[in-house]
Amino acid sequence: MLQINYIRENKALVVEGLKKKYFADAEQKVEEIIKIDQSRRETQHSLDFLQSEANQKAKAIGELMKQGKKEEAEKEKAAATDLRNKTKELQDFLTEKEEELQNVLVKLPNLPHASVPVGRTPEENITIYSSGEIPVLHADAQPHWELIKKYDIIDFDLGNKITGAGFPVYKNKGARLQRALINFFLDEAGKSGYTEVQPPIMVNEASAYATGQLPDKDGQMYYASEDKFYLIPTAEVPITNMYRDMIIKEEDLPIKNTGYTPCFRREAGSWGADVRGLNRLHQFDKVELVQIATPETSYAILEEMKKHVQGLLEKLELPYRILHLCGGDMSFTSALTFDFEVYSAAQKRWLEVSSVSNFENYQANRLKLRYKTDGKTQLLHTLNGSALALPRIVASILENNQTPEGIRIPKVLQAYTGFDMIK
């Protein structure tokens, strides 16, 4: 959430940033916020004055009572009662204004970093790096949704029977490949200094709010209404919320956590060839990286996280590219995002497999996540990245490594799978 002080002092910059994210009616919304804040501040000033006057009245009454001037004390008590009533009215009005301000602030997206390119659609993202050769497949090569049937490793029909569309059943060597990837990603994160956690896969409303899923993604998450719990769309949510309402010691920074979880996304309205097979699921597995850092170090850490994801893709021998996302294609909470895409040879297109983002202090403001430096308490920066999301990685491994004899397993995974081919 944006800080009201920053909005008030940098109105033009805020409007410019919101427009870069194609936020509707940016100028009008900012003016509305400043107007509500002005009313809130004026009310707070009046309330402070009345409370000071009430304190003085209380002292005066005490002195009059000591002096035995009961009649004068009673008059002052009547005046004090009137002050208390006015104070209560002002306090109620202040609470109303604070809630109104909060309700408007939470609907503002994060402001983009100065380096974010202008653009509204994915086609306007900028490719900043690419690596690996595009595989040339044999004549009878097939897309992964045909390969999984041929080798009996993932069953969409069975998942549809058990649950519904978008909930596949992994089996045989497909299940082992899935487990191998999870363990490989976690081991690599451990080598890079991340502490592994296994968080809950359901969160309460406060947690979903704190990392920005609410109110922005309300209706897009699976919701257990009786308990008021949300199934997580990413491990970012529970891992980052581990540090909600905390003041971190500066010497303990940066904090680095990794975790594997299943993830759940309704993806309402998604259909067609582009989301066929593993391209888009309602339940999928992902290993997430989360870091908490000082404002001075967060962008160097973002580069470090980007290099970590690059290393994973290179070890998996997958052709990939890195995109610098434009303002209109960034998430609600992000200040700067790099997307990683791998090439799917049978589908002949690029598939997104990771986003690495710096949220600056946007989430930290909601989380009340701070640290002390030079005797002052300041908001921290939060970052996260997928390392990696499995479905499209599996799709690309299956498609890019298919041969007439079977599907070759990348060398780095063979110690995890216990086999080098799916035949």
Binding-site sequence positions for ATP: 265-267, 352-355
Question: How far is residue 371's CA from residue 251's CA, in Å, rounded to a whole number?
Answer: 10
In the block, tokens 């005490």 appear at 62
CA 263 to the chain's CA centroid = 13
Cβ atoms of residues 287 and 260 within 8 Å = yes
Cβ atoms of residues 130 and 321 within 8 Å = yes
Q: Of 384, 365, 408, 370, which is closest to residue 301 (Cα–Cα)? A: 384
* Binding site per annotation, positions: 234, 265-267, 288, 352-355, 384
- H helices within 106-193, ranges in order? 144-150, 156-162, 173-191
* Binding site per annotation, positions for L-serine: 234, 265, 288, 384
Count of CB atoms situated within 10 Å of the CB of 133: 8
Cβ atoms of residues 199 and 235 within 8 Å = yes
CA quadruple 114, 116, 119, 124: dihedral sign: positive
Tokens of 358: 């710096």
Instruction: List, in order, residues 6 or more apart from 238 with CB less than 8 Å away.
Output: 199, 200, 201, 203, 207, 232, 259, 261
Instruction: List, in order, residues 6 or more apart from 190 with CB less than 8 Å away.
Output: 196, 258
CA 183 to the chain's CA centroid = 23
